[in-house]
Structure 1
Amino acid sequence: MKRWVDVAALGVSQIIGYGTLYYSFSVLAPSMARDLGWTSEWVFGALSIALLTSGLVAPWTGRWMDRFGAGRIMAFGSAAAALALVACAATGSVITFVPALVASQVAATLVQYGAAFSLLVQRQPETAQRNIVYLTLIAGFASTIFWPLTAWMHGFLGWRDVYLVFAGLQLVVCLPIHVLLARKPDLSTANSERPGHPAATSPQDHLRDRDRTAGFVMMTTAFALQSFISSAVLIHMLPMLAALGLGAAGVAAGTLFGPAQVASRLLNMVFAKNLLQLHLAIISAVLLVLALTVIIVAPPSFWVAMLFATLFGLGSGLFSIVGGTLPLELFGHQGYGALQGRVMSVRLIVSAAAPFTFALLMHNAGVTWALLASAGIGAGAIVAFLIILKLNRRAALLERHQPTSEATT
Structure 2
Amino acid sequence: MRDSKIPAAIVSALGMTQIIGYGTLYYSFSILAPEMAEDLGLTLAQVFGIFSASLFIGGLSATYIGKQMDRMGAATILTIGSALSALTLALCAWSPSVFVFALAIILIEISSGMVQYQAAFAALVQSDPRTASRSITYLTLIGGFASTIFWPITAALVGYLTWREIYLVFAALNLFVCMPLHLWMARKGKAEGVRGVNRAREHVVGAVPPERRRGAMIVVSAAFAILGFTLASVLAHMVPMLGTLGLGTTAVVIGSLFGPAQIMSRLVNMIFGTSLSPPMLAVISAALMVLGIVVLAVTGNSLPGAAAFAICLGLGSGINSIAQGSLPLYLFGSDGYGAITGKMAAARLALGAAAPFAFAAAMQSFGIGLSLFAIAALGTAGMVAFISVAIATRRDLVAAE
Q: What TM-score do you get using the length of structure 2 for normalisation?
A: 0.94
Amino acid at match of 1:293: V
Partner of residue 196, structure 1: none
CA distance, structure 2, for counterparts of residue 397 and residue 306 of structure 1: 41
Q: In the alignment, what sits opposite 1:153?
A: 157
Deviation at 1:184, TM superposition (A): 4.6
Are the aligned partners of 1:122 and 1:187 in contact in 2 as well (CA < 8 Å)?
Answer: no
Counterpart check, 1:207 vs 2:211: no
**Matched residue SS, 1:244:** helix
Counterpart position of 2:240: 239
* One-letter amino acid of the counterpart of residue 64, structure 1: Q
SS in 1 for 2:275: coil
Change (3 A) 1:358 1:299: closer
Contact 2:279 2:386 in 1 (8 A): yes
Q: What one-letter code is carried by the residue in structure 2 that aligns with 1:18?
A: Y
Deviations 1:234-270, CA, capped at 9 Å, x for gaps:
1100111122222223222111111100000000000
Matched, 1:99 2:103: yes
- Residues 202, 331 of structure 1: 8 Å contact kept: no
2: distance between equivalents of 1:187 and 1:8? 19
1:289 and 2:290 aligned: yes
Task: Work out whether 1:51 is the aligned partner of 2:55.
Answer: yes
Aligned residue type for 1:352: A
**CA apart distance, 1:93:** 1.3
Deviations 1:142-185 (A, max 9, x none): 00000000011111000000000000001110000000001153
The one-letter amino acid paired with 2:21 is G
Counterparts of 1:251 and 1:204 in 2: how far apart (Å)?
Answer: 45
The answer for the alignment partner of 2:198 in structure 1 is: none
1:135 has 2:143 as partner: no
From 1, 4, 27, the equivalent of 1:23 is 27
Q: Report the 3-state secondary structure (helix = DSSP H, G, I; strand = E; otherwise coil) of the residue aligned with 1:245.
A: helix
Indicate if the aligned counterparts of 2:295 and 2:305 stay in contact, CA closer than 8 A: yes
Aligned residues: 389
Matches within 5 A, 1:117-132: 117-132=121-136
Q: Please state how far the C-alpha of 1:57 moved relative to its aligned partner.
A: 1.0
Q: More deviation in 170-179 or 207-216? A: 207-216
1:357-408 deviation per Cα after TM superposition (whole angstroms, max 9, x unaligned): 11110111111121111101100111101111221122123212xxxxxxxx
Task: State the alpha-carbon separation in 1 of the partners of residues 136 and 18 from structure 2.
Answer: 12
Partner residue, 1:398: 399
Structure-2 separation of matches of 1:5 and 1:287 = 32
Following the alignment from structure 1 to structure 2, what is the Cα–Cα distance between the partners of residues 186 and 398? 39
Query: How far did 1:113 drift?
Result: 0.3
Distance 1:186 1:289, change over 3 A: farther
Q: CA deviation at 1:187?
A: 11
1:5-64 deviations in Å (ceiling 9; x for gaps): 000000000000000000000000000000000001100000011111111111110000
Alignment of 1:267-346 (within 5 A): 267-346=268-347
Q: Distance in 1 between matches of 2:222 and 2:247?
A: 32
Deviation at 1:73, TM superposition (A): 0.7
1:42 aligns with 2:46: yes
**Residue 62 (1) aligns with residue 63 (2):** no
What secondary structure does 1:206 align onto? coil
Which whole-Å CA distance do the structure 1 matches of 2:80 and 2:30 have between them?
26
Structure 2 equivalent of residue 194 of structure 1 = none
Any conservation in 1 of the 2:88–2:107 contact (CA below 8 Å)?
yes
Letter paired with 1:391? A
Which residue matches 2:196?
none
User: Residues of 1 paired with 2:60 and 2:228: CA distance?
Assistant: 16
Aligned amino acid, residue 19 of structure 1 = G
Q: Output the CA distance in 1 between the equivalents of 2:190 and 2:296.
A: 47
Post-superposition shift, 1:274? 1.9
- The answer to whether the 8 Å contact 1:62/1:341 transfers is yes
Match of 1:249 in 2: 250
| Aligned residue in 2 for 1:229 | 230
Identity of paired residues, percent? Answer: 48
Deviations 1:321-380 (A, max 9, x none): 101010011111110000111011111101111001111101111111211111011001
In 2, are the aligned partners of 1:61 and 1:109 still within 8 Å (CA)? Answer: yes
Residues of 1 paired with 2:265 and 2:6: CA distance? 26
| Unmatched runs of 5 consecutive residues or more in structure 1 | 190-200, 401-409
Gaps of 5+ in 2: 194-201
The 1-side partners of 2:190 and 2:320 are apart by 27
Question: In the superposition, relative to structure 1, how do residues 379 and 292 fare at CA in structure 2: closer, same or farther (>3 Å)?
Answer: same
| 1:4–1:236 CA distance, 2 compared to 1 (3 A) | same
Deviations 1:298-330 (A, max 9, x none): 252211111111111100100111010100111
Partner of 1:84: 88
The amino acid of 1:393's aligned partner reads R
CA distance in structure 1 between the aligned counterparts of 2:227 and 2:203, rounded to whole angstroms: 27
Does 1:116 pair with 2:120?
yes
Q: Is the 8 A contact 1:231 1:355 kept in 2?
A: yes
CA contact (8 A) 1:66 1:187 kept: no
Contact 2:231 2:317 in 1 (8 A): yes
Aligned to 2:354, the other structure's residue is in SS state helix
CA RMSD of aligned residues (A): 1.6
